[in-house]
Amino acid sequence: MHGSVARRRFRAAFLIPLISLFLIGCGYNNIPTYEEMAKAKWSDVLNQYQRRSDLIPNLVETVKGFAKQESSVLEAVTAARAAATSVKVDANTITDPEIFKKFQEAQAQLSGSLGRLLAISENYPDLKSNQNFLALQSQLEGTENRIAVARRDYIEAVRVYNTELKTFPGSLWARIFYSSNKPMEAFTVADSVKTVPTVKF
């Protein structure tokens, strides 16, 4: 009797670590790992968009000082910034197609408005050569580049995560252990914003 209990305990002590190694080796931890990586990249995207948003009020005020008559362009940028910041984003945004689409389109509209605002500097030599404007323009250029990099990294992280959910053995772990995990959304260029001017320096 005692011998059979001891044998069962020995088998359990041997099998549990073996099963654990099997689960790890088969990618049991991949889904939560890739999920956290994608969320971290999403945070980077949000940080860069926030950096851009923070630059806009100073840019608008600087342009206003030289080109008050361009009020419609200035108002459009201010309105686009307000619209972009009004879209509520959190960890659920990237798994909700509707909210993600609203976020993406609002940011694209803001990019278009910024492009139009910067383009008017060509008509105002004093503005074009103003040191504050040049500094803001340079910061915006750097921020747009960082946004592009952050978006690219996020798209790749989402691709890895979504692929893991759909392919074996990840799809098996998803059904058994991670049934609440949803695919994440990636950036695309919607038809409605394809013709919106982009920021060019």
> pTM score > 0.85 for this model?
no
Classify 9 as helix, strand or coil: helix
Q: How many CB atoms lie within 10 A of CB 137?
A: 19
CA dist 175 and 180 (Å) reads 9
Report pLDDT digits (tens) over 143-197.
999 999 999 999 999 999 999 999 988 988 899 889 999 999 999 864 434 443 4
Instruction: List all residues 6 or more positions away from 119 whose beta carbon is below 8 Å from its beta carbon.
Output: 197
Instruction: List all residues 6 or more positions away from 61 whose beta carbon is below 8 Å from its beta carbon.
Output: none
Q: Which tokens go with 117?
A: 């605002």
CA dist 75 and 90 (Å) reads 28
Report pLDDT digits (tens) over 106-136.
999 999 999 999 999 889 999 989 999 999 9
Place of tokens 């073996």: 18
CA dist 165 and 183 (Å) reads 7
Q: Which tokens go with 130?
A: 């103003």
Count CA atoms within 13 Å of residue 155 on its CB side: 10
Report pLDDT digits (tens) over 55-91.
999 999 999 999 988 999 999 999 999 999 999 888 7
Give buried/exposed letters for 141-175 (b at 16+ CB in 10 A, else e).
eebbebbeebbebbbebbeebbebbeeeebeebbe
Query: Which amino acid, one-letter code, is at 144?
Result: E
CA dist 51 and 84 (Å) reads 13
